[in-house]
Structure 1
Amino acid sequence: MKDFIQAHLMRSLMFVPAHREKLLESAINRSADVLLLDLEDSVQPAENKVIARKNIKKWVSEGKFTDFLVFPRVNDRESGELLRDAYELTIEGIHGFMYPKSKKGEDVYFFDKLLETIEYEKGIPVGTFKIIPLIETAAAVLNAQEICQASDRVVAIAYGCEDFIADLGGIHDEEGQSLFTPRALIAMAAKAHGILPIDTVHINVHDLEELEQNLRVARNLGFEGMMVLNPKELELVHRYFSPSAKEIKDAEEMLQLADQAKSQGNGVAMINGKFIGPPMIIAAQKVLKKKMLIEMKNSR
C-alpha cells in the first residue's frame, strides 16, 4: 500500500462513463492522474453495463490507458453486477477499483476477499488490485477509520457528498457548512492510517470560482486530491494539489540547511528564525517527492 501511494500521483480522479466511447476518447487526451471508468451510477440502463465492461477490456488491451492509473468504479454489493465487474476487469492494466457504498469495514473486507479469490483463480499475485472505498453515507463517515483498516489494498478513501447529504437528510448549502465536518473526519481518518484522502466532486462544473473556493478548503483540511466530473476542472485541481514554486524552493532550502547542520555537528538548523524540526523535514521530503512524480508524468 505505502509503496503504491509513494509511486503514483492521485491529484485528480476523473469519472468517465465507460459505455460511452466518445467520452473515453476524450479522457485519454486529458491530464487526469486517475481515470475512474464508471460502471455504476452514470451507466444506465443495465444493458449498458455490459457495454462498459467490454469497452474497458478492449481499451485496456489496446494500451490506450497506459498514461493513467485506472480504477473502474464497480457496482455495489447489492447490485447483482459486482461479481461480473470484478471477474471481468481483474486484468493487466487495471490498477484497482473504486468501491461504492462502503458503509463499514466489513463491506471493504468482503470486496478484498472477492478480489483475493479471483486473483487465486487467475494466478495473479494476491493484493495486485487496490481499493478506493467511496464514503457516501453518515454511517460510512463515522466508520471511516474502520474502513481504512479493513484491507491492505486500501490506498485512498474518497468522499461522495451528494449521496451523503441525501442519506443525512441535510442541505448542500452554498457555504459548505454541512460538508465541513465529514470532510474533516474523512481527511483525518485517511491520514491517521497512511492513505490518501480524496475530496468530493464539484457539482457546479462551470463555476470555476466556486471550485477554487472548495479547493482552498480541501487543501487546508489535508486532502491530497479531488474527484472530477469535467476536464475543465483539471487545471485548477492540479494547481492546488501540486507544490508551488515557493513550496519547492523552501523545501530544498530546508533540507539543505538541515544537512549542513548535521554535517557540522549542530543539533538544530534554522530557517527564517524558525527551528527546523523532524516534522518539517518530513513535509519537505514529501514536497520534493511529489515534485519528482509530477516531472516524471509531464515528461511522458
Structure 2
Amino acid sequence: MEHSEKYLIRSLMFVPAHNEKLLNKASTSDADVLLLDIEDSVQPVANKAVARSNIKEYVSAGRFKDYLVFPRINDRESGQLLRDLTELTIDGVAGFMCPKSCKGEDVYFIDKLLETIEYEKGLPVGTFKLIPLIETAAAVLNAQDICTASTRVIAIAFGCEDYITDLQGIHDADGQSIQTARAMIAMAARANGVIPIDTVHIKVHDLVDLEKNLIYVKNLGYEGMLVLNPKELPLVHRYFTPTEEEIQSAETMLTLAKKAIEEGRGVAMIGTKFIGPPMVKAAAKTLAKARLVQSRVKSRVE
C-alpha cells in the first residue's frame, strides 16, 4: 500500500505535553502533525502523568481536531509504555511516534500491545498507526526491518542528534556525518511505501541553514521534517508542497500520456522529452499530494 498517497505529513512539530502554554500555541499552528511529547522533553517522571492527562483533555475537547495527533510515547524499557498506550488509544489520536526503535522487534512489540488494547476496547485492529524514530546506528542499518515490522508503520523519522551520539561522531556544520544515514533512511522508507521524515533542525533561528537542508533532503526523496519551532513551518511547507508550476506540468504530462494511449502511440512527448512510465507515476503522485494539501487548507478554513 502506498501510505504516502494517504497522509499529508510535511511537518511534524514536537510539543511537550505537560506544558499547557505550548499546547495552546500548538492548537493554532499550521503544523500537519502534532507530536505531543511524553518522552524526552517531559521531566521529571511525575510530569509524564500530567502529559497524558493533558493530551486526553485537549483531544477530547476537540482542540486538535484539525491535526494528525501522534503522541511520542516512552520506549519499551521505560516502565511507562503500557500507561501511555492504554490511556491514549482514544478517538482523535491517529497513532504514536515510537522512540528508540532499534530493530523491527521493537516496533512489532508495540504493534502487538496495540492489537490487544484495540481488541479490549472494541476498536478495529490497526486503528492506530506508528512512526518509528530512527535514532541509532543499529536503527539505520535495520531501517528496512523496521519499515516492514508492522502494517501500522506509515512513516519513519530520523533523529540525528541521538544517532551522532551513538555513532560517536560529530555533527559537522555541512551535515556530512549524517549524509549516509539520511540516504539509507529515505531508501528504506521508499522501498516499502512509507514516508521518510527528516531530522529536526537544531538551529531553529537560522532559516537560511534550514532552507539549505530542505533543498538537500527533498532531493533525497524526503517528504517531511521534524519541527521544533512554529517559525520553521512556512519554509518546511513551501518545500514539501507541490508548486503551481509542478502541478501544471504534472497535469500536462498525464493528459499527453493518456492521449498517446488513446491514439495507439507507445510513448508520449512533452516538447523534445519522452514521457516514460516513471514520469507518469511521479506526475500522479504530485497531483495526489496537491489534493491532500487542498483538503488540508479547506479543513482549516472550515
Q: Same fold (TM over 0.5)?
A: yes
The 2-side partners of 1:209 and 1:186 are apart by 24
Matches within 5 A, 1:208-287: 208-287=207-286
Q: Could you tell me how far 1:151 is from its partner in structure 2?
A: 0.5
Q: Could you tell me how far 1:86 is from its partner in structure 2?
A: 0.5
The 1-side partners of 2:36 and 2:4 are apart by 20
Q: Could you tell me how far 1:208 is from its partner in structure 2?
A: 0.2
Matches within 5 A, 1:59-78: 59-78=58-77
User: C-alpha deviations, 1:180-234, integer Å up to 9, x for none?
Assistant: 0000000000000010000000000000000001101110110010000000000
The 2-side partners of 1:130 and 1:213 are apart by 31
Aligned position for 2:49: 50
The one-letter code sitting in structure 1 at the alignment partner of 2:254 is: L
Aligned position for 1:130: 129
Structure 2 residues not aligned, in runs of 5+ = none
Q: Could you tell me how far 1:267 is from its partner in structure 2?
A: 1.5
Residue 22 of structure 2 aligns to a residue whose secondary structure is helix
Aligned position for 1:9: 8
The 2-side partners of 1:296 and 1:289 are apart by 11
Distance 1:5 1:220, change over 3 A: closer
User: C-alpha deviations, 1:137-195, integer Å up to 9, x for none?
Assistant: 00000000000010010000000000000001000000100010000000000000010
Aligned position for 2:85: 86
Matches within 5 A, 1:172-183: 172-183=171-182
Residue 59 of structure 1 aligns to a residue whose secondary structure is helix
Residue 64 of structure 1 aligns to a residue whose secondary structure is coil
**Alignment pair present for 1:112 and 2:111:** yes
Q: Could you tell me how far 1:246 is from its partner in structure 2?
A: 1.4
Task: Output the TM-score relative to the length of structure 2.
Answer: 0.97
Count of matched residue positions in the alignment of Structure 1 and Structure 2:
299
Aligned position for 2:25: 26
Aligned position for 1:198: 197
Structure 1 residues not aligned, in runs of 5+ = none
Aligned position for 2:166: 167
Aligned position for 1:154: 153
The 2-side partners of 1:233 and 1:188 are apart by 25
The one-letter code sitting in structure 2 at the alignment partner of 1:69 is: L
The 2-side partners of 1:6 and 1:51 are apart by 35
The 2-side partners of 1:5 and 1:286 are apart by 9
The 2-side partners of 1:179 and 1:7 are apart by 29
User: C-alpha deviations, 1:74-127, integer Å up to 9, x for none?
Assistant: 001111100000100001110000000000011111010011111111111111
Residue 172 of structure 1 aligns to a residue whose secondary structure is coil
User: C-alpha deviations, 1:33-77, integer Å up to 9, x for none?
Assistant: 000000001000011111100000011111111100000000011
State the superposition RMSD in angstroms. 0.9
The 2-side partners of 1:107 and 1:182 are apart by 20
Task: Output the TM-score relative to the length of structure 1.
Answer: 0.98
Q: Could you tell me how far 1:8 is from its partner in structure 2?
A: 2.2
The 2-side partners of 1:8 and 1:191 are apart by 14
The one-letter code sitting in structure 2 at the alignment partner of 1:200 is: T
Contact 2:4-2:193 at 8 Å conserved across structures: no
Q: Sequence identity of aligned pairs in percent?
A: 68
The 1-side partners of 2:207 and 2:108 are apart by 38
The 2-side partners of 1:5 and 1:37 are apart by 22
The one-letter code sitting in structure 2 at the alignment partner of 1:188 is: M
Q: Could you tell me how far 1:5 is from its partner in structure 2?
A: 4.0
The 1-side partners of 2:39 and 2:4 are apart by 25
